[in-house]
Structure 1
């Protein structure tokens, strides 16, 4: 099991994912993923480290050569009082200009969407966003995925029962 060290405390690698957007995999075909930094206030960082954020309906948009994430809900930090920010405010994502322009071209030309998949802490203790270039699924695609998953589950179940016989 891989371990990471933060402030002298060893944490298993599994604890590094803070928030995930599981609904994104159900609603979108994920084509490419990118890592981006995120500009946060101090109380927002503390709240996210406690896992009090939600990416469910969030999306990213390129505006004036910068990327912003919208509808990402970060609950106010309990001990933050006057320093807390608006929970749904747009937050700036930090990427190289070259990457931003490439994403802008793909989103405009092909009708793709930028969706945040997860918030995590990297090796240096910084909070990062995994951003995906995605294409929306149709209802038919969603049904196909469910059928495929059910079939895979049945195969695994039959295989386990077959192995118990030996």
Structure 2
């Protein structure tokens, strides 16, 4: 399993409550670009339209810019493929508990590209600062133990 892109910012900005694996609808040249690592999941999110999941703001940069359609947009909306019962469960949790779905990483399973998504709750600013302080103190302790 090769990981092509990770959304590290999502793990900092959100508490990930649950993760699930989905497929994604891509053009052929987009698949080649993803496998070359030319994908950016930062600031992307997943929304619900007509009881379907859609990935927004994920940028897939073309591998060969001259060999793509003139109307191609790097951050176009892309449909997420998941089982119907899983989609209904996610929609219910989003509406009930005011959660959001964020993409965490894009990787392959055998020959298929998969998107790991997380059901997440947004962190507040003080929680983020608290986590940074905790991480810094742990680093200081590790440094002092090494010396």
TM-score range, shorter chain: over 0.9
Determine if contact 2:20/2:116 at 8 Å carries over to the other structure: yes
- TM-score, normalized by length of structure 2? 0.93
What runs of 5+ residues in structure 2 fail to find an aligned partner? none
Taking only aligned residues, the RMSD between alpha carbons, in angstroms, comes to 1.5
In structure 2, distance between residues paired with 1:80 and 1:47: 13
Aligned length: 146
Alignment-derived partner of residue 96 in structure 2: 109
In structure 2, distance between residues paired with 1:50 and 1:66: 28
Matched, 1:37 2:20: no
1:65 corresponds, among 29, 51, 76, to 51
In structure 2, distance between residues paired with 1:134 and 1:82: 35
Offset at residue 159 of structure 1 (A): 2.0
Structure ranking higher on relative contact order (CA contacts 8 Å, 6+ apart): 2
- TM-score, normalized by length of structure 1? 0.83
Alignment-derived partner of residue 134 in structure 1: 120
Indicate the SS of the match to 1:150. helix
1:52 corresponds, among 18, 24, 38, to 38
Matched, 1:92 2:74: no
Indicate the SS of the match to 1:158. helix
Offset at residue 98 of structure 1 (A): 0.6
Tell me whether 76-85 or 138-147 shows the greater mean CA deviation.
76-85
In structure 1, distance between residues paired with 2:100 and 2:73: 25
Indicate the SS of the match to 1:76. coil
What runs of 5+ residues in structure 1 fail to find an aligned partner? 1-12, 162-166
Matched, 1:151 2:116: no
Tell me whether 82-91 or 105-114 shows the greater mean CA deviation.
82-91
In structure 2, distance between residues paired with 1:20 and 1:90: 18
In structure 2, distance between residues paired with 1:113 and 1:137: 12
In structure 1, distance between residues paired with 2:9 and 2:20: 18
